[in-house]
Chains A and B, each alone.
Chain A
Amino acid sequence: MELPPYATTGQRIWHYTFLVICGLIFFFLIAPIITIIPLSFNAENFFTFTPGMLALESDAYSLRHYRDFFQNPDWQQALSNSVRIAPAATLISVALGTLAAIGLSQGHVPFRRAIMAVLISPMIVPLIISAAGMYFFYSRVGLQGSYIGVVLAHAALGTPFVIITVTATLVGFDRSLTRAAANLGAGPVRTFFKVQMPLILPGVISGGLFAFITSFDEVVVVLFVGSAAQKTLPWQMFIGLREQISPTILAVATILVAVSILLLATVEILRRRSERMRGMSPA
């Protein structure tokens, strides 16, 4: 993207215009997320910057919306539900998804494409359709409105991500290592836990993080499959946005942005680690 020294004036103008356009697009991408962070410290019940905030007066800022989040029983109930549902769903997704990914990566799997299509389908089908189908079916079998129903639904939605990430990690897995382990007398279970698992762990963890975030962020399916007792954080935000919008939502949003930055960093570190372990690091 260096501008050559012999560029004409027209080319220069175009080059800088292009950079400005790209800058504006990046601004468009990131600004909405950044803007809500200061707004969440608003001392008033407004959704815009008060004159005091613009003048950087310290009493225009406050933590009252955060206090509300930690004291309001509705939000606390939602938080505890989210924290109870997402890890359980992630555990199921990771356990079943990792096994299946190992199975799928073996040389000779009959009907591989068809099996893959079925296993990936929860990611492909639009959420509203999954939600509708699950609502109909789960109410037939009595799982609608139950904790187990929501966990099963979220686990199903999360597995494709585990399969994709673990399969990608297994592509670089050297199968002669398991043979070497077997040759040295380790059984299949021991080989799996002592040799294969440590090597594909980064993939498993990042798949798990994807599954976790899928469940933690998910609102459409839980809206239909769950009942008021399973109200999760996104659900509470959805209600808040649709009915009486309160600045507490911005405080929650800011906390969630912090959580996603944390997750993004973890996934990135894991990805680099796994590339290094496979000797694929680009210098």
Chain B
Amino acid sequence: MTDATHGPDAVTGVTPDTGLRIAEERHNGEMVAADGTPLKRSLNRALRREKLRALALIAPLFLFIVVTFIAPIADMLFRSVENQIVSETLPRSVIALEAWDGEDTPEEPVFAALAQDLAIAVELKNHTRLGSRLNYETTAASSLFRRTGRAADDIGEEAADQFVELDPAWEEPATWIGLMASEDWIADQAEWAAEAEAAGRDAPPEPRFALRDGVAEALPRTADMYGAFARVIRAEDADSPTEEDPWPIVYRALHDDLVANPDAAASFEGANAQLLGVAAGAVPSFEVTGFRDTFLDIDEDWADPTIWGTIKAFSSPYTAGYFLSAVDLQLTADGVAKQPEDRQIYGLLFGRTLFMSLTIMGCCVLLGYPVAFLLANLPMRSANVLMILVLLPFWTSLLVRTSAWKVLLQQQGVINDLLVWSGIVTNAGRLALINNQTGTIIAMTHILLPFMILPLYSVMKTIPPSYVRAAKSLGATNFTAFRRVYFPQSVPGIGAGCILVFILSIGYYITPELVGGTTGTFISNRIAYHISQSLNWGLAAALGSILLAVVLMLYWLYDRIVGIDNVSLG
């Protein structure tokens, strides 16, 4: 080896030669890169770097799609099973209902729990939402909850009156604070009140209410209801329990507690103990109506086990109920049952969507095949010109094409005018071509036809014309040569086009909405209806999930046959 510091090799730094030199020095036969690391490791590192670079380029879009698209789809799937509204709005009733047999009207404890839940729900204005939710399952639920909500304010009013009659102190918020609130909270609250006075408008929120130790054991119902009262007052009305007297239901809870536990006063000291002691002595003589009678008085429907069955069936935070509704079944207290006849519409709708999509697909094959055949067999120049006639509709706005059909197909539209003029139909017998299935099928066949022609064309382009010629020279007639030689080779194109058209058509919304009337609409129109009009989002999500599953399955099939990468854009 020559001296590397003289002559043409006088390069400072690393050169490809360096690697060879190092390898030679080491004499172990291992290949090394220019910087002396073994070649294998060096290549691995380069590969890893290349992978990371590729991923870094993809990452921004990947994250973007995940956030703006995949998350919404996941949200929809989640909503199709999510059902927290019942257990959140009626937590006590749901627990009380666990012991219910499902046969008769439930017993007093269930109604007591319902009274407490409703008192809170009415203050939070949640009961109408719950009513609408349950109305999807049992028709009378919405009005039942609305009516009950109006009367629920007064439950416990008689108990409250009798407490106040016994001792006016019961009307004072301070009495209740002294009885229920913890010492710490009273101190914190006083401090906060002084600060809030000074700060004026920008005051921080009042400290979170805390119960006195031991109250929850001595007076469980009262503590529960008063705690809820303090929470709601603070959060919803931005008010303080120190300034508001409790809801009537709290008095009623205290009454029930004192009846159940006359010695409750023993857990208290001083004035509180005395007040409670007197009350405990008086409550047995109070006149109060049972919760059950109160509710039956408000609305007879509470005696009906159906509504209770629905509440019980939908009490878990996740439900299959929406999916069952989407296939004309329903969830009852006894398990899964069929929907009543007049509410079975989704089977019909899915069937219609399927039937119309298949019809449209069939029409597209019938119309698309000859055109693709012609385009594939014409010389390039004339094929290109005719291709424009296919591509122009493909590129034209969907709404332009739909409005064209809407105008042409009307009773007083161009097509009917032409038919009348040519004497095919009489003026009185103008055809109804729009706002029915015919309208949807005609317009959608037109809109989806290019999606059939393009894949068919690209497959037919690859069929060598010599095969048909060979068949003919072997004695086949034109028809036989087409049927036995050409057609089988074009089947992949038909398959690809059919799946594409079918997938596109079962999810179509705009065209059926505009030209379909009532009989020509698809499942997607029902989804849109549930989102924007009936507001039954759960059912919309369940219908969407079923549709999504069907489409993904078809795409998987498409991928097996054609390959997603081969999606052509004309």
- Chain B residues with Cβ below 8 Å from A261 are 392, 395
Residue B15, interface by CB 8 Å: no
Residue A270, interface by CB 8 Å: no
Looking across the interface, which residue of chain B has its beta carbon closest to that of A120? B564
- Choose, from B290-298, B331-339, B342-350, B396-404, the stretch at the interface: B396-404
The answer on a CB contact under 8 Å between A103 and B55 is: yes
The answer on a CB contact under 8 Å between B370 and A18 is: yes
Residue A134, interface by CB 8 Å: yes
- Chain B residues with Cβ below 8 Å from A131 are 509, 528
Consensus secondary structure, chain A interface: helix
The answer on a CB contact under 8 Å between A264 and B392 is: yes
The answer on a CB contact under 8 Å between A118 and B65 is: yes
- Chain A residues with Cβ below 8 Å from B74 are 133
The answer on a CB contact under 8 Å between A25 and B76 is: no
Render B362-400 as a binary contact track against A, CB cut-off 8 A, 1 for contact. Answer: 000001001100100110100000101111110111111
Residue B569, interface by CB 8 Å: yes
Looking across the interface, which residue of chain B has its beta carbon closest to that of A118? B65
- Chain A residues with Cβ below 8 Å from B73 are 121, 125, 129-130, 133
- Choose, from B104-112, B205-213, B483-491, B539-547, the stretch at the interface: B539-547
| Minimum distance in angstroms from A101 CB to a CB of chain B | 9
Interface size for chain A: under 10, 10 to 19, 20 to 34, or 35 or more residues? 35 or more
| Minimum distance in angstroms from B522 CB to a CB of chain A | 9
The answer on a CB contact under 8 Å between A133 and B371 is: no
Given contacts A32-B404, A164-B569, contact A128 B507 (CB under 8 A): yes
The answer on a CB contact under 8 Å between A22 and B61 is: no
- Chain A residues with Cβ below 8 Å from B371 are 22, 25-26
With the chains together, A262 CA to B155 CA distance in Å? 71
| Minimum distance in angstroms from A240 CB to a CB of chain B | 8
The answer on a CB contact under 8 Å between B555 and A96 is: no
With the chains together, A135 CA to B544 CA distance in Å? 13
Render B58-100 as a binary contact track against A, CB cut-off 8 A, 1 for contact. Answer: 1011101110111111111001000000000000000000000
With the chains together, A257 CA to B403 CA distance in Å? 12
With the chains together, A161 CA to B47 CA distance in Å? 29
**In-complex Cβ contact of B398 among A102, A219, A282 (8 A):** A219
Residue A220, interface by CB 8 Å: yes
- Choose, from A150-158, A176-184, A194-202, the stretch at the interface: A150-158
Residue B231, interface by CB 8 Å: no
Looking across the interface, which residue of chain B has its beta carbon closest to that of A224? B531
The answer on a CB contact under 8 Å between B397 and A253 is: yes
With the chains together, A155 CA to B64 CA distance in Å? 9
> Which residue among B65, B388, B541, B555 has the maximum number of chain A CB atoms within 10 Å of its CB?
B65
Residue B216, interface by CB 8 Å: no
The answer on a CB contact under 8 Å between B71 and A115 is: no
The answer on a CB contact under 8 Å between A32 and B397 is: no
Residue A100, interface by CB 8 Å: yes
> Which residue among B386, B392, B450, B527 has the maximum number of chain A CB atoms within 10 Å of its CB?
B392
The answer on a CB contact under 8 Å between B555 and A210 is: no
- Chain A residues with Cβ below 8 Å from B527 are 128-129, 132
List residues 19-52 of chain A with CB under 8 A from any CB of chain B: 19, 21-22, 25-26, 28-30, 32-33, 35-36, 39, 46-49
Residue A227, interface by CB 8 Å: no
The answer on a CB contact under 8 Å between A129 and B60 is: no
The answer on a CB contact under 8 Å between A129 and B68 is: no
Looking across the interface, which residue of chain A has its beta carbon closest to that of B507? A126
The answer on a CB contact under 8 Å between A159 and B397 is: no
- Choose, from B133-141, B236-244, B411-419, the stretch at the interface: B411-419
Looking across the interface, which residue of chain B has its beta carbon closest to that of A110? B51
The answer on a CB contact under 8 Å between A49 and B397 is: no
The answer on a CB contact under 8 Å between A47 and B410 is: yes
> Which residue among B397, B413, B450 has the maximum number of chain A CB atoms within 10 Å of its CB?
B397
Consensus secondary structure, chain B interface: helix
**In-complex Cβ contact of A22 among B47, B374, B401 (8 A):** B374
The answer on a CB contact under 8 Å between A29 and B65 is: no
The answer on a CB contact under 8 Å between A25 and B403 is: no
The answer on a CB contact under 8 Å between B413 and A48 is: yes
Residue A208, interface by CB 8 Å: no
Given contacts A36-B407, A121-B65, contact A136 B79 (CB under 8 A): yes
Residue B56, interface by CB 8 Å: yes
Given contacts A121-B70, A253-B400, contact A126 B551 (CB under 8 A): yes
Residue A107, interface by CB 8 Å: yes
With the chains together, A135 CA to B528 CA distance in Å? 11
Looking across the interface, which residue of chain B has its beta carbon closest to that of A235? B399
- Chain B residues with Cβ below 8 Å from A119 are 58, 61-62, 65
Render B516-528 as a binary contact track against A, CB cut-off 8 A, 1 for contact. Answer: 0000000010011
The answer on a CB contact under 8 Å between B400 and A126 is: no
Residue B514, interface by CB 8 Å: yes
With the chains together, A164 CA to B564 CA distance in Å? 10
- Chain A residues with Cβ below 8 Å from B399 are 217, 219, 234, 237-238, 241, 253, 256
With the chains together, A65 CA to B247 CA distance in Å? 64
- Chain B residues with Cβ below 8 Å from A264 are 388, 391-392, 395
- Chain B residues with Cβ below 8 Å from A22 are 370-371, 374
**In-complex Cβ contact of A129 among B374, B513, B547, B555 (8 A):** B547
Looking across the interface, which residue of chain B has its beta carbon closest to that of A18? B370
The answer on a CB contact under 8 Å between B403 and A249 is: yes
The answer on a CB contact under 8 Å between B71 and A137 is: yes
Given contacts A100-B60, A224-B532, A253-B403, contact A109 B54 (CB under 8 A): yes
With the chains together, A30 CA to B401 CA distance in Å? 10
| Minimum distance in angstroms from B63 CB to a CB of chain A | 9
With the chains together, A99 CA to B53 CA distance in Å? 11
Which 8 A-B pairs give the minimum distances between C-beta atoms?
A126-B507, A103-B57, A133-B72, A137-B72, A100-B61, A128-B524, A133-B76, A32-B404
Q: List 16 interface pairs A-B (beta carbons < 8 Å), by A numbering.
A: A21-B370, A26-B371, A29-B449, A115-B62, A116-B564, A125-B548, A126-B509, A133-B76, A136-B79, A137-B75, A153-B68, A219-B398, A219-B399, A220-B509, A238-B510, A256-B400
**Chain A residues engaging chain B, CB cutoff 8 angstroms:** 1, 11, 14, 18-19, 21-22, 25-26, 28-30, 32-33, 35-36, 39, 46-49, 92, 96-97, 99-100, 102-104, 106-110, 115-138, 140, 152-153, 155-156, 159, 161, 163-165, 210, 213, 216-217, 219-220, 224, 234, 237-238, 241-242, 245, 249-250, 253, 256-257, 260-261, 263-264, 282
**Chain B residues engaging chain A, CB cutoff 8 angstroms:** 47, 50-51, 53-58, 60-62, 64-66, 68-76, 79, 367, 370-371, 374, 377-378, 380, 386, 388-393, 395-408, 410, 412-414, 417, 446, 449-450, 478, 503-504, 506-510, 513-514, 524, 527-528, 531-532, 537, 540-541, 544, 547-548, 551-552, 555, 564-565, 567, 569
> What would 11 more interface pairs be, CB under 8 Å, given A48-B417, A108-B50?
A29-B393, A46-B412, A48-B410, A100-B57, A126-B551, A133-B72, A134-B72, A156-B64, A156-B65, A250-B407, A253-B400
